[in-house]
Structure 1
Amino acid sequence: MPLKVLLAEDMQILREALAELLSQEDDLEVVASVSAGDEIVPAALAWLPDVAVIDIDLPSLDGISAAALLRERLPSCRSLILTALNRPGQVRRALAAGVQGFLPKDVKPGELAAAIRTVAAGGRVIDAALALSALEAGESPLTPRESEVLRMSATGAQPAEIAERLFLSYGTVRNYLTTAVVKLGARNRVDAIRIATESGWL
């Protein structure tokens, strides 16, 4: 039986190219492809793939958050993240989310196919250059709650909306945002989001 693969990529031309390349492998079968992060779990529950190949930058829900949710809802499906940017903190965040593979988007088709097989077999595949950058960059100074509030703020959510969604007081959310700005040495909330995003901490 071929390994069943789910693809999550928002660029249609790239998603179709990946599907075509992987379909040329006798032991791989792309059973589903989606264009947004919040479509991953429903598609996975419907098709029960062995491996989900997920772009890190997806609309609705980012790839790492989607992979964490997928691990919770369908533990049998393993995740492999593809990224176009070298943001050191992303590797740490991905590993914390239980991701088994983390590769650059310019990986060769044969290497991607081999990585999918390794991940499906229970192994891990982390690009060496990305892993080294993660080790050199250090960990995020933000607490999980500060990161969550800042991540929601990055989507355009206002403090009052964040407070309502997280069942926190308005003042508590403002305090989290202020603390994040101070810890990151940022000028303001927008600058804090930029710094955290570029470091791969969001």
Structure 2
Amino acid sequence: MIRVLLADDMKLFRAALRNLLEQHGFEVVAEVYCGDLIVPTALELRPDVAVIDIEMPGQDGLAAAAALHNELPDCRTLILTASASPANMHRALSARAAGFMSKDVSPDALAEAIRKVAAGFEVVDPQVAAAALRLPPNPLTPREVEVLRLSAGGSAARQIAVDLFISTATVRNYLSSIVAKLHARTQLDAVRIAVDAGWI
């Protein structure tokens, strides 16, 4: 029997999800409402799969998924979210989640996704994957993506320069190039375009 940890901040949703999974033959070993509780609970109970929402109190679900992969790689993670965008899908896979599904998924499809994740496969919601395929190709270089990601996180040009061991002038040149390549009006607009496209 596949043992599952549920992590979602909505008690009613957790209860409904527990009931659904138990009807499909899973054993729900724990429910947590806070991202900070995911790793310690998993380390104690050793579930096969953690089903995690993105937005929770404390550590968000994607950071918790990455931490869980590092601390307990045998526990596979499936992100189950209402914010099922291509950008969040890319973020989830970068956080080493094995699955990414929308909360609009059917009960049977969710159960099948958990079984596949537990068996070692990666699973992505088909509608989100299709949306991701319709996105335009990323025109930015890997270094430009890195600079824009740091900028989006609130780092000033001087701090980005320190982090990447380059000059402040080089950082400003990268940012100017990014704005031009994305046909953005401002640097903030470039961040929005890149996030919407799933590039950062």
Give, as a single letter, the amino acid of the residue that structure 1 aligns with 2:156. P
Q: Which runs of structure 2 are paired with 1:135-154 in the superposition (5 Å)? A: 135-142=133-140, 146-147=144-145, 150-151=148-149, 153-154=151-152
* Residue-by-residue CA offset, 1:118-161 (whole Å, 9 max, x unaligned): 21112232222222222222554445565455445545x34279
Give, as a single letter, the amino acid of the residue that structure 1 aligns with 2:113. A
Stretches of structure 2 that go unaligned for 5 or more consecutive residues are none
1:114 pairs, out of 112, 131, 143, with 112
Deviation at 1:196, TM superposition (A): 2.2
Deviation at 1:53, TM superposition (A): 1.3
Task: Give the TM-score of the pair, scaled to structure 1.
Answer: 0.73
The 2-side partners of 1:9 and 1:177 are apart by 37
The 1-side partners of 2:195 and 2:12 are apart by 26
Cα distance, 1:139–1:42 mapped onto 2, change above 3 Å:
farther
Which residue of structure 1 lines up, in the alignment, with residue 98 of structure 2?
100
* Residue-by-residue CA offset, 1:38-74 (whole Å, 9 max, x unaligned): 5433333333221121223456555444433322332
Deviation at 1:96, TM superposition (A): 4.5
Three-state SS of the structure 2 residue aligned to 1:137 is coil
Q: What is the root-mean-square deviation in Å for CA atoms of aligned residues?
A: 3.5
1:159 pairs, out of 156, 162, 183, with 156
Stretches of structure 1 that go unaligned for 5 or more consecutive residues are none
Deviation at 1:97, TM superposition (A): 4.2
Which residue of structure 2 lines up, in the alignment, with residue 190 of structure 1?
188
The 1-side partners of 2:5 and 2:109 are apart by 17
The 1-side partners of 2:162 and 2:20 are apart by 41
Say if 1:81 and 1:102, in contact at 8 Å, map to a contact too.
yes
Deviation at 1:199, TM superposition (A): 2.0
Which residue of structure 2 lines up, in the alignment, with residue 199 of structure 1?
197
Deviation at 1:76, TM superposition (A): 0.6
Q: Is 1:21 matched up with 2:12? A: no
The 1-side partners of 2:138 and 2:91 are apart by 9
Say if 1:149 and 1:162, in contact at 8 Å, map to a contact too.
no
Cα distance, 1:198–1:112 mapped onto 2, change above 3 Å:
same
Say if 1:11 and 1:35, in contact at 8 Å, map to a contact too.
no
The 2-side partners of 1:84 and 1:128 are apart by 15
Cα distance, 1:35–1:169 mapped onto 2, change above 3 Å:
farther
* Residue-by-residue CA offset, 1:16-45 (whole Å, 9 max, x unaligned): 432343344443214242433x54333333
Could you tell me the percent identity over the aligned residues? Answer: 50
Report the count of equivalent residues: 199
Which residue of structure 1 lines up, in the alignment, with residue 121 of structure 2?
123
Three-state SS of the structure 2 residue aligned to 1:18 is helix
Q: Which runs of structure 2 are paired with 1:2-151 in the superposition (5 Å)? A: 2-36=1-35, 38-58=36-56, 61-142=59-140, 146-147=144-145, 150-151=148-149
